[in-house]
Structure 1
Amino acid sequence: MISYIVVDLALMVSIIVTLVFFDRVESGYYATDQDIIAAGTAIDMVAAPLGILYIVLFVLCMFTYARFFHRSMNNVQAVGAKDATMPPGWVWGYFFIPIANLWKPVEGVLQIWRGSMRASGANPKVPLAVGLWWTFWLITTIISNISFRLSISSGAFDDEITDFDLFITTNYLDIVTSVTGVICAVFLLSFASRLNKAQQAINSGGIAETFE
């Protein structure tokens, strides 16, 4: 997750650099076409690997998230927590169900939190970080979907960009999603670390560890 945050920030910087490049091209900053090609190639050589690394880390974070909360739900159900009623697989599976993915995943996390805290003898009050995590997750997801659809309309995935202004807009939206995505990840790390400590406290009573 920390690696994801670092790469996301680096990708945001590369997008800003790209926007500066386009602005310089439009203002006649570069003396020749060769200068433009050289600058654009240099940016692509950095941005392309960052984009691939971002996707890889995002997938790994998804897998880690699913594994952590799946096992956490298993653990609290193993000690008979009345708060935990959602099947472990659905804690992360609801992310892939339209409409339900707007509230069901966080509902599962809340069940895990309350069940873990009560089972470990801690205060079951849900921290603000959980609500902020979910809020920024929804914001990031919605803006990302808008940016993706606009990118398609701008011709970004075709041989030639047909609407340059729209393409520039998607870059600004991507900067926003980088910021909200990082904030989302920070809040997730914040409450997940506390949850892991509660799970380890449960483990002292004979329940399986969340991580091996």
Structure 2
Amino acid sequence: MLCSLCGTRPAGTADVRCSVCAVTAGADRGRAWAGSTGWAPEPLGPDRLRSPAGLAKAVCVLLGAAAVADVLSIAAGIHSRVLLADGLDGGFLAVDEEAWTRADNLYVAAGSLQALTFLATAVVFLVWLRRVRINAEVLDPYAHTMRPGWAIGGWFVPLGNLWLPYRVAKGVWAASAPVDTLGGRTAVPRGPLNAWWAVFVADQLVSRGTGRLYADAETGEEIVRGLDLVAATDALDLAAAVLAILFVRRLTAMQSARVHLGPFPAGPSALQAY
């Protein structure tokens, strides 16, 4: 069957076009897409493609370490909470000073471990996210609504960091979806991405309030309530770490498969379909 547009070359795409006409049509749609969004992507060459598998393994290991730190913090918090609750008597607090010092030191150490693992995980995660975002720009530059720099910059925008990184990740997810035909892409549900981001945002919002409540607690009962709230926040941290591992593994597997295929001639993605 000949191409439905030029009528001279064999049709090779699902819409009965040859590869040359498919590329031309994609460029026309790209110009229309650029006009509607206000900025035009600059497609990168195949030489910019890099497998994200190694970075993904490092991210998952660090997320696992962060999850362990969360478990230790929860255990230390429960120990301190039980110690204080047993010492409360009619509003008065009577706790063995030596036992409380040990419990408090353990709790502080667990918190320090959380901070260290979080910092290390954040750095490597951002490196991984930048890598998959650059790959996605090669695979399909029209699958994104934000420039590549937002893969890192979006995290440092006050309030905007509750939404901007998700938009970046959504574009990467769309561009990394499996290919079924030339210029076509199979829709993949964003369940892992949506679940991780929902828990992550909830964790960020809750932790900002609970941290202040625990720091401002003065009476024994207030400290006990603060410890309960911090333990709940640590549980959200743990859930977010586990879901992040699932998200990183799923996206990396999708993109690694697409990297081996290389970029294909495609017009702007209809992101609403994903």
TM score, norm. by length of structure 2: 0.64
Are the equivalent residues in 1 in contact too, given 2:139–2:176 (CA < 8 A)?
no
* Residue 115 (1) aligns with residue 171 (2): no
Unpaired runs of at least 5, structure 1: 155-161, 208-212
More helix by share: 1
Gaps of 5+ in 2: 1-62, 264-274
Query: Closer, same or farther in 2 for the Cα pair 1:165/1:123, shift >3 Å?
Result: farther
> Compared with structure 1, are the counterparts of its residues 148 and 22 closer, same or farther at alpha carbon in structure 2 (3 Å cutoff)?
same
Alpha-carbon separation, structure 2, partners of 1:20 and 1:199: 47
Q: Which has the higher contact order (CA 8 A, sep 6+)?
A: 2
Deviation at 1:206, TM superposition (A): 6.1
Match of 2:249 in 1: 193
Which of 218, 230, 242 is the equivalent residue of 1:174? 230
Using the alignment, how far apart are the partners of 2:157 and 2:180 within structure 1?
32
- The 3 A distance-change label for structure 1 pair 95 and 116 is same
What corresponds to 1:157 in structure 2?
none
Pick from 182, 189, 194 the counterpart of residue 126 of structure 1.
189
Is 1:11 paired with 2:73?
Answer: yes
Structure showing greater Rg = 2
2-structure distance, mates of 1:152, 1:7: 20
Aligned residues with identical type, % of pairs: 22
Partner Cα distance (1:146, 1:14) in 2: 20
Following TM superposition, by how much is the alpha carbon of 1:91 offset from its aligned partner in structure 2, in angstroms? 2.0
Distance, in Å, in 2 between the alignment partners of 1:174 and 1:92 is: 28
**Deviations along 1:54-77, whole A, 9 cap, x unmatched?**
100001111121111111000110
Aligned length: 195
Q: Which residue of 1 aligns with 2:146?
A: 86
Closer, same or farther: CA 177–107 of 1 in aligned 2, 3 Å: same
Residue in structure 1 matching 2:121, options 61, 66, 70: 61
Deviates further, 113-122 or 167-176: 113-122
